[in-house]
A and B are shown apart, each in its own frame.
Chain A
Amino acid sequence: GENVEQHPSTLSVQEGDSAVIKCTYSDSASNYFPWYKQELGKGPQLIIDIRSNVGEKKDQRIAVTLNKTAKHFSLHITETQPEDSAVYFCAASRSGGSNYKLTFGKGTLLTVNP
Chain B
Amino acid sequence: LAKTTQPISMDSYEGQEVNITCSHNNIATNDYITWYQQFPSQGPRFIIQGYKTKVTNEVASLFIPADRKSSTLSLPRVSLSDTAVYYCLVAYGQNFVFGPGTRLSVLP
Chain A complexes with chain B:
no
